[in-house]
Structure formats: structure tokens, C-alpha cells
Amino acid sequence: MLLLSLAIVLFPFAFLDKFIKNFNKKVIILIFSILFVFLGGFRWLTGTDWYAYYYGFIVSDNYYDATQDTFSFEWGFGMLNYIINITFGSYTVFLVVFTFLKVFLRYKVFIDKNFIQYSLLSFFLFYCYEGGAILGTRQMLAGGFVLLSILPIINRKFWHFLILVLIATSIHRTAVIFMVAYPLFKYSSSRNFLLYTFLGSSCVYFIFLNSNVSSLLTNLPIISSFDAYQKKLEGYSEIGQTTYGQIDSQTTIILGFLKKAFVVLPLILSFNMMKKQLTEQTFTLYKGMLNLIVFGSAIYFVLGGIASDFKRLNGFFDPFEVLIIPIFVYNVKNKKLIPFWIIYFAAIAFSKLYTSTMMFQDLIDPFYFIFDKPFYRKMY
């Protein structure tokens, strides 16, 4: 399979951060980024929710249908569809622009001075976590703006941060939850606080899974504010445009918990060690991103235990793992363990990619390009 093969090609680069100059790292990341844009831009009948996005683009030939109709996307994403539709009228052009934005936003983070030192390992992890942004939906585009907002958070430029999050929210409304990131990043947490938060929320997760908590949702006033979102989900379900895959089987639930625990717990348990090993500036970055990751995990466990759809909120916090893991790996006390930790986290990351690709294998393998037409694939 193409996507898994690319991960194998990228894997050796994950070990080379200490041996390659920063400029050459930028070149390597740029080359692969261009490849990802090509793959995502010129694909055809490949990926989940194909028809939902294809027909969403087709009907976006006027402002109302693009942004105001019951089944239209959020305003920002609708406008992107509308502008490209009336300018080029080509869905392939849309996919090229769409994929370029997803990849470019992440590229800007990887080559930033705060992250370039360990960027090759981060880039490999990003590929495994998000498939190189080759596929993905509008939430992944919103996630790109969210990830980029870490830079104004670090530089304490609140208005820049706010603008990026608002843009992300105009693309996928769930991105509004990232508003909490600015104060959360600066929160003076401790190892015990982070550990108890993670373990406590995971306990709540399994309690909720065995309880009929979701039936209480309709009685909560806040749920009414998501009425339009709920109607849209129901509408997509009726016309067969919502893709869930094998969600919430017992195996998926357990594996989801274990993968998260195997990543987050080592980062938390090493909190005090990192405080001694890192410079004050780097530790501030480590602590801030760990705050975001643990908060995202709490959302995943507490809200995900109520309803599976809420798990997607964690998708705006998970990507920070690809930035914090290399800081941990290259600053462990025993430097001989660096290769072990790279392999450890790479294996977990690859398992994420493998699970996501196998779940929808029939939609992405073989990987069709527009040049391959005509052909047929049953989409759902």
C-alpha cells in the first residue's frame, strides 16, 4: 500500500536529526511536502467522505449554496470551495489548493526555529499521525491553522493566535475549543497534577462507556447550541455521506486508550527529569505543549466516553505530540536510549497509520489518480 510504503521510506530520516544541518532538513521536508501535495491534489475517488466533499464543491457555484444552505460547510471552507469553483471550476484544482494549505501550514511549524532541531523525527511522526495530510477532511485543514497558532503562543502574540484560531473555526467549528490553549499553555502545572488528570479522566472514560450517559445529553442546555450541527449530521447520514468506519468496537476502544497511554505517560513521568535537563525556554515549551496534550486527552476520555463524535475535539491537541516527543527523546538522561525511544514512538505512530489505513483500505488502496480515469470504485 502506497501510504504505508511512504512511512517506511521516511523512517530512516527519523534517526538523522543530529547528523543533518538545519538547511538540509528544510530541503528534505520540502521535497516530501511537495510529494504529499501532488498525491493529495491529483487523487481521484480515493479517501473517505469523497462524495460529501466532491458534491459540496460542485454545488458551491453561488454564495448561498456554498455558505448558507442547510448542508453547506462552515463559512471559511465554503468560501474556499466557492472561490475555486467560480474561478477554475475544477475539483482537482481545489484538491491541490486544499492539500497545499494542509501541508504548508505544518511545514511552517516544522522549519520554525523552535522545532527545526528535531524536525525530521517530527516530520516522520506527523506523517504517521496524519498521513502527511494527503487525505483528510476540513478538520485537518483547521488543525493546520491550530498547529501554526503555537508560534504566536510561544511569542506571546495573542491577537495573532486569535486570528489563526478564528480562521480554523471558520473551516471547522469544533476548532473553537482551542481558544483555551493560550492560558493553558502558560499554566504552571506539575507532574502529579498532569498525571492525576490523565489517570482520572481515563477512569471516567471507562465508567461512562458502561453507563447510559449519552441519554442525559438532550437535557443539557448547551446541547441546544449544537442543534444545527446535529441536523447536519443527521442529514448527511440520510444521504449516506457520513463515514465512521469500525468505530467503538471493544478492540478499538482498548487500543485507542493504550496508544494514548503509551505516548502520554512517559512524557508526564519524565516531567521532573526534563525540568533538570532542558533550558528554561525549552522546558517552558515542553510543559506548555504537555498541558495541551493532557487537556486533549481529558477531552478524549471524558467527552469521548459520552459520545464518539466528541473524540474529534482531541484532534486539535494530538498533533502537538509530534512536536514534544522529539524534545523528550533527544534529552533523556541516558543518551544510549535515544535509538530505543525513537523506535518506541515510531512503532506507536506507525500503528496509528496502519489502523487508519486498514480501516478504510478499500477507499485508498489502490491509490487512484485523476490520470487513471476512467475507473470505478464503490464509495461510502
pLDDT in tens, 286-300: 999 999 999 999 999
89 backbone φψ class: left, alpha, beta (φ>0; ψ -120 to 50): left
Cβ atoms of 324 and 289 within 8 Å: the answer is yes
Cβ atoms of 77 and 138 within 8 Å: the answer is yes
User: Is the per-residue pLDDT at 380 higher than 50?
Assistant: yes
Q: How far apart are CA 44 and CA 34, in angstroms?
A: 18
Q: What is the pLDDT of residue 129?
A: 96
Q: What is the pLDDT of residue 303?
A: 84
Q: What is the pLDDT of residue 325?
A: 98
Q: Which residues of 110-137 are buried (b: 16+ CB within 10 A; e: fewer)?
A: bbeeebbbbbbbbbbbbbbbbbbbbbbb
Give the Cα-Cα-Cα angle 355, 360, 364 (nearest 5 degrees): 110
What is the C-alpha end-to-end distance of the chain, expressed in Å? 20
Q: What is the pLDDT of residue 216?
A: 53
Average pLDDT over residues 51-71: 93
The answer for residues whose C-beta is within 8 angstroms of residue 269's C-beta and 6 or more apart is 191, 195
Q: What is the pLDDT of residue 249?
A: 56
Average pLDDT over residues 359-371: 90
Q: What is the pLDDT of residue 28?
A: 98
3-state SS, residue 89: coil
For 248, the grid coordinates are: 467503538
β-bridge mates for residue 369, sequence order = 43
Average pLDDT over residues 100-111: 98
3-state SS, residue 379: coil
User: Is the per-residue pLDDT at 58 higher than 80?
Assistant: yes
Average pLDDT, the chain: 89
User: Is the per-residue pLDDT at 139 higher than 70?
Assistant: yes
**Per-residue confidence band for 207, with pLDDT thresholds at 50, 70 and 90:** confident
Average pLDDT over residues 17-46: 97
CA 80 to chain centre: 20
3-state SS, residue 369: strand
Q: What is the pLDDT of residue 264?
A: 97
Cβ atoms of 128 and 140 within 8 Å: the answer is no
Q: What is the pLDDT of residue 236?
A: 42
For 287, the grid coordinates are: 510543559
Question: pLDDT tens across 208-264, in order?
Answer: 776 655 555 545 555 444 445 455 444 444 434 434 444 445 666 777 788 899 999
C-alpha closest to that of 264 among 285, 295, 302, 304: 295
Quote the pTM value: 0.91
Cβ atoms of 40 and 133 within 8 Å: the answer is yes
- Cα dihedral sign, 344-350-355-358: negative
For 285, the grid coordinates are: 515549551
- Domain coordinates in residue numbering, the chain: 187-331
Instruction: Specify the amino acid at residue 238.
Output: E
User: Is the per-residue pLDDT at 180 higher than 60?
Assistant: yes
Q: Which tops the pLDDT comparison, 114 or 237? A: 114
Question: pLDDT tens across 1-15, in order?
Answer: 899 999 999 999 999
For 164, the grid coordinates are: 489563526
Q: Which residues of 238-258 are buried (b: 16+ CB within 10 A; e: fewer)?
A: eeebbbeeeeeeeeebeebbe
